[in-house]
Amino acid sequence: MDRERRDLQELRAKGVSEGMSDENDLPRVHMEQAFRWFCPGCKTENFDRAVEVEFESREHMQEVCEGLGVDKYREGEIVEVPKTVTCRSCLILCTTDDPRYDPEEDDV
C-alpha cells in the first residue's frame, strides 16, 4: 500500500492524476496576472491579483495605449498593481509601488 501511495504522489507531483494518461487529459485552469511581494514584517511571500484598468471611454483607452506604446488591437488587458495589499500570514496592511512606473519621471 505504501508503494502505491508513493507512486501516486510522484505522478501528482508530475501533474498527472489517476486515470489521466497525458497532458490533454488534465483539467484546464484560467491563469491571471499577479504581483509577487514579500511582507516587510514577517517576510512571507505573497501574491496579489493585478487590477484591470477600466477606461472612461474608447478615446481614453486609445490615449493610454499610445502612452504605453501598446497596440490597442493587441489582445490582452492593461493592468496595474493594487493600491494596498494585506499579508496572508501576519495580516499587515501595506501600500504598494508599481515597479513599472517611476514617479520621478513626472517631476521632469
- Residue of 31, 47, 49 lying closest to 39 (CA atoms): 47
Residue 38 is predicted with a pLDDT of 97
- Please check the confidence at residue 83 and state whether its pLDDT lies above 70: yes
Instruction: Check: CB of residue 51 under 8 Å from CB of residue 79.
Output: yes
Domain count, the chain: 2
Residue 108 pLDDT class (50, 70, 90 cuts) = very low
- Same domain membership, residue 95 and residue 49: yes
What is the pLDDT of the chain when averaged over all its residues? 82
- Same domain membership, residue 9 and residue 48: no
Q: Give the domain range for residue 59.
A: 31-107
Alpha helical stretches, state H, 45-102:
58-68
- Same domain membership, residue 38 and residue 13: no
- Same domain membership, residue 89 and residue 62: yes
Residue 19 is predicted with a pLDDT of 57
- Same domain membership, residue 39 and residue 16: no
R_g of the chain, CA atoms, integer Å? 21
- Same domain membership, residue 38 and residue 19: no
- Same domain membership, residue 19 and residue 51: no
